[in-house]
């Protein structure tokens, strides 16, 4: 069965968006939780500051990437 090109492109964008978000979450979870950079032990350390700076910068990059990916998207059938 042949799919319409618009539907196929739309589904690919959805899968790529979800995949990129999951990769971003896994990287930050690994660095933050497993290496204890997300939690303060009494007072913040340099590692905590670096982790949270990375977290915010990478989140801004993720949002920028997703906006570029979806920019100019037209409704299916237009």
Backbone angles phi, psi at 43, to 5 degrees: -145, 155
What pLDDT score does 46 carry?
Answer: 95
Secondary structure class of 9 (helix, strand, coil) = helix
Question: Does the predicted TM-score (pTM) go above 0.85?
Answer: no
Per-residue pLDDT averaged across 65-74, rounded?
86
Task: Give the angle 25-57-63 at the CA atoms, nearest 5°.
Answer: 65
**What does the DSSP 8-state code read for residue 20?**
H
pLDDT-based confidence at residue 73 (cuts at 50, 70, 90): confident
Secondary structure class of 41 (helix, strand, coil) = strand
Q: State pLDDT tens for residues 27-49.
A: 999 999 999 999 998 999 999 99
How far is it, in rounded angstroms, from Cα 69 to Cα 78? Answer: 18
């Amino acid at each position: 069965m042949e799919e319409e090109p618009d539907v196929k492109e739309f589904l690919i964008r959805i899968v790529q968006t979800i995949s990129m978000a999951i990769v971003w979450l896994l990287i930050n979870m690994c660095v933050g939780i497993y290496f204890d950079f997300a939690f303060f032990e009494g007072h913040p350390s340099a590692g905590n500051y670096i982790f949270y700076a990375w977290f915010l910068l990478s989140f801004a990059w993720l949002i920028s990437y997703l906006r570029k990916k979806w920019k100019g998207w037209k409704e299916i059938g237009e």
